[in-house]
Amino acid sequence: MRVLITSAIYPTPEAPKVVGGAEIFVRRLAEHLTEQGDVVEVVRAAPKGAQERVECNGVSVYSASVFNIYRPFTKQWVAPIRGIWHAVEDWQRTSDLVSDRIRAFKPDVMHSNNLSGLTTAVWAAANKQQVPIAHTLHDYYLTCPRCSRFSMGHACKQTCLSCKILTVNRRRAADAVSAVVGVSQRIVDIHVDLGLFLGTPVRTVIPNASVIASPLPAAERVNGVVTLGFIGRLTEEKGIFNLVRAVAELPPDRFKLMIAGHASESERKKIRAMAPEARIEFLGFVAPAEFYKQVEIVIVPSIWEEPDPLVVADAIASGRPLLGTPLGGIPEAIKRGGAGWLTPPDPASLSLSIRKILADPEQLQAMNLRSMNNAAKWTFPKAVAAYRDVFKRIASRPGASTSSVTSSLLT
């Protein structure tokens, strides 16, 4: 099968930028498809000036120019400039490079992912040349210029007027999609509740999956100290500050908190000032497996409707129990992994939940064992097979009826 993948970011050696788990997953998917004999090309939003095609692990990667006042995923611009950017983004109508690659590559299917910078013009290009489109929902780009449905410290329960105005054409463009894949049922439900993809022929869920092949050895516990772990961006919506406030209320001799991910010196000082007595260790950027080897419980304290964090998939594959919040796809992931707890995201609830876990060593030991036993339940090869099935369905039967294959995929 010939698959044209579009993704706002696609990391390669000369352009290694990574913002979240979506682009990591997309690259892994492209490379696994190639290894299985499919022919894959990728079009990404140009991360810098004019760039030639590059080859990366058997995948041809092209960079499309961004026709806007600045490139996405750069610095945080002031609100008026961002408003102009989003207005231009919503009105893009053409994608010359995607059109050219469709004519030259002749794909059986287009698989679109995060759209910032590329815009829904990639769908118009595919639709014009009658190439079926499978789109994966990694974020809320189609309903929210910020892509997060998060504002003023809270997950948005409704779509505000400015978001409706700045996404009007994106939402209309969704009618061109032949198959929509959610990384969680929750992200699909939010879009459907807002009126998107109601008539899409194939609608399904394929959770993110890890390339960690087997459970990692249990983390060593020294002097009864339980190691808690957080990995990801140190941003408000990720809940890191609520977590730090929570551990500030715990006995410092009972736990250690390891934080992986970029942290500037000012961010480290801020976090330490919030919990001056807590044992907090900053690891910086580390390979996921190296992180999970060192922690006993992974905490995902998100306060937005996070679709399906890749770190959760890695934690499950590593055999680590999770403490997460009941938002987005996190409850689904914990159920899928078969081991973990849910807690409200506020600091008091987080602190109480951690305190209860620390106070019951037998329950924690049982949860650790359950995590190890369930680690291989959902693997990356299964996710790749699920995507290939979706691609084949829309390439051979574009009029297939709406269905969900979530339950069969996860058994």
* pLDDT of 397: 56
Mean pLDDT of all residues in 202-225: 91
3-state secondary structure at position 168: helix
* pLDDT of 337: 80
Residue 116 and residue 73 in contact, taking contact as beta carbons nearer than 8 Å: yes
**Is a pLDDT exceeding 80 seen at residue 405?**
no
* pLDDT of 410: 45
Q: How confident is the model at residue 402 (pLDDT cuts 50, 70, 90)?
A: very low
CA 386-391-397 angle, to 5 degrees, is 120
pLDDT tens-digit readout, 36-68:
999 999 999 988 766 789 999 999 999 998 888
* pLDDT of 49: 66
* pLDDT of 73: 79
Q: What percent of the chain has pLDDT over 70?
A: 96
Structure tokens at 53: 């095609």
* Average pLDDT of the chain, as a whole number: 91
Q: What secondary structure does DSSP assign to 33-66, as a single string?
A: HHHTT-EEEEEEE-SSSS---EEETTEEEEEE--
Measured N-to-C along each axis, helices 265-274 and 240-247 cross at an angle, to the nearest 10 degrees, of 40
- What gap in Å lies between CA 68 and CA 8, rounded to an integer? 14
**Is a pLDDT exceeding 50 seen at residue 403?**
no
State the DSSP code for 120: T
Q: How confident is the model at residue 79 (pLDDT cuts 50, 70, 90)?
A: confident
* pLDDT of 50: 61
**Measuring CA to CA, how many Å separate 181 from each of 7, 58, 110, 118, 120?**
15, 25, 13, 19, 16
Q: How confident is the model at residue 92 (pLDDT cuts 50, 70, 90)?
A: confident
**Measuring CA to CA, how many Å separate 46 from each of 14, 62, 102, 109, 304?**
12, 8, 18, 22, 28
Residue with the larger pLDDT of the pair 300 and 219: 300
- What gap in Å lies between CA 130 and CA 126, rounded to an integer? 6
Place of tokens 């919503």: 90
* pLDDT of 115: 96
* pLDDT of 77: 81
3-state secondary structure at position 116: coil
- What gap in Å lies between CA 345 and CA 349, rounded to an integer? 7
Mean pLDDT of all residues in 201-222: 91
* pLDDT of 246: 98
In this structure, of 35-44, 177-186, 322-331, 360-369, the range with the lowest mean pLDDT score is 360-369
CA 341-347-350 angle, to 5 degrees, is 15
Cβ-based burial of 152 (10 A; exposed 0-12, middle 13-18, buried ≥19): exposed
**Is a pLDDT exceeding 60 seen at residue 407?**
no
Residue with the larger pLDDT of the pair 184 and 48: 184
- What gap in Å lies between CA 242 and CA 259, rounded to an integer? 14
**Is a pLDDT exceeding 80 seen at residue 75?**
no
In this structure, of 40-54, 64-78, 164-178, the range with the lowest mean pLDDT score is 64-78
**Is a pLDDT exceeding 80 seen at residue 398?**
no
All domains in the chain, ordered by first residue: 2-209+380-409 (3.40.50.2000), 226-374 (3.40.50.2000)
pLDDT tens-digit readout, 334-349:
998 888 999 999 999 9
Residue 55 and residue 135 in contact, taking contact as beta carbons nearer than 8 Å: no
* pLDDT of 375: 76
**Is a pLDDT exceeding 70 seen at residue 118?**
yes
Residue 384 and residue 32 in contact, taking contact as beta carbons nearer than 8 Å: yes
- What gap in Å lies between CA 320 and CA 323, rounded to an integer? 10
In 122-178, beta strands by DSSP E:
133-137, 150-151, 154-155
